[in-house]
Structure 1
Amino acid sequence: MRLVTFDPFRTLGLPGVRYIKPELMHQHLDTLRDADWLLFPGYWQLNTLLYVLKKNIFPSPVSYHLGYDKVEMTRAFQAACPAHVPHTEILANSPDNVRDILHRWPLPFVAKQIRASQGLGVFLIESAGQFEQYAAENEVLYVQERLPIERDLRIVVVGREIVAAYWREGDGFHNNVARGGNINRTLPIPPHAIDFVLTLAQYLNIDYAGFDVAMVNGQPMLLEFNRLFGQQGVPGLPQLVNAAIQRYILGAPDSGTPSTSRSA
């Protein structure tokens, strides 16, 4: 199996992988054409590798396209599973739309930048002035209801399996580990949340992502997924991810690691 990676850190331990710097890919076209899989290209490389060289890409092209920004992602979720998406509006930024949102949406609500991760670019709007400041800095208005939650779930999908699932708790609004959130290993993971995410990921052909899920009245609600999810704070998660990549890409036998982790 001939493998080429453009991200050596996410493929550590994968056997027989050749690293090529993304910016040098045109100097290695023969190597890329001969490869069986191209791993972790940058978004800007995708069209050339997929449509010109016609190569197998991991993560899947769908993972890139739907994960490109929150607009693409949310619209896909609203079509695939609308009952599991918080009430969300995505509007062009105009004075009329800003006024309309402030007139119709009760405070507080959530506003998001369409391209951000690790909890950055997510704002709790508690006043008209805060929303006007958000609107002054963003071309697209993305507003979402604030859910009545104290924690959320991170559910990690690699290939066709769940490799980890854990609760995150933060300051009452940001739960991301990168923003100082903590992982709670004592609370059980709802099995139907695991099943929901795995079914959705397989339906959409998303094969490498960290899904963020809130539980509201016992029902999973999708917040977003991150294609390049963080692996800090969970002992052994990089090894679990690496083993799942090998099972998926190389057809390596299961090493005995559970395919669904109910806790970190």
Structure 2
Amino acid sequence: MSILIADSGATKTEWYYQSGSVTQTDQTEGLNPYYHSADSIGSVIEKELLPTVDVVDEIYFYGAGCDSEAKKKMIEQALSQRFSTAEVQVHHDLLAAARACLGNEAGIACILGTGSNSCLYDGSAIVEHIPSLAFILGDEGSAAYFGKQLINRYFRDELPDDLQNALREEHNMSLNYITTNLYDGSQKSRFIASYGAFLGNHAEHPYIRKMLYKGFENFVRRIVAKYSNAADYEVRFVGSVAYAHQQVIKEILQEHGLTAGLFIRHPMERLVEYHT
């Protein structure tokens, strides 16, 4: 039996393929059905995946944006047309986080990467979900959330001088460049999140530490702590932002009477264990 597993976020899609004793991993751009058409999803699969993948029996695709039957169907059709003999299952990336973090255990699973999300998982299904509201209205604690704050504070002249100068050196801070990408760009959250990386590079700066603390505290207080009987479960995380800043997140969880569990940068390895 051959199996293909995909974990697709806003920025990239990680693929794992196994057929007998042969295994391989690939990476393509993120395939979010809110930002891609069915044709563009199919084009990415044909150009970047099909040349290296042979026959597939089962496909498990976990993706950001796969939160409705219509969006799931878009991904499913694109895959089924290219892998006509495969059984295809498409799920939201939040279920991937829950399965990677918790396997068959109950607990609270969180995503902190380009965007943010969370759920209460009973060991087999998501039983409670507080919406992330995406990067415009929510996504607390994510790279896009911090990137938006950073750009705003830069143009309001609220950053210390050393950070203002460093930000100009490391990123394009032209107002025309930023607004053009916001209004005309197809991947707005990914663009904004690219500025969030600045906080990781300057995490020891007192001003940045305060920004990070407040952002993660908002995520924990306004979302995680509101799940039913939250104190009875471990809170586990996937995503590059959570992994990079796990110490401060652990401190905040403890302050709210919550228990920190695993922090996983890339969930693919644990998804492979779950499915195989």
* Fold match (TM-score > 0.5): no
Which has a greater percent of helix?
A: 2
- TM-score, structure 1 length as denominator? 0.31
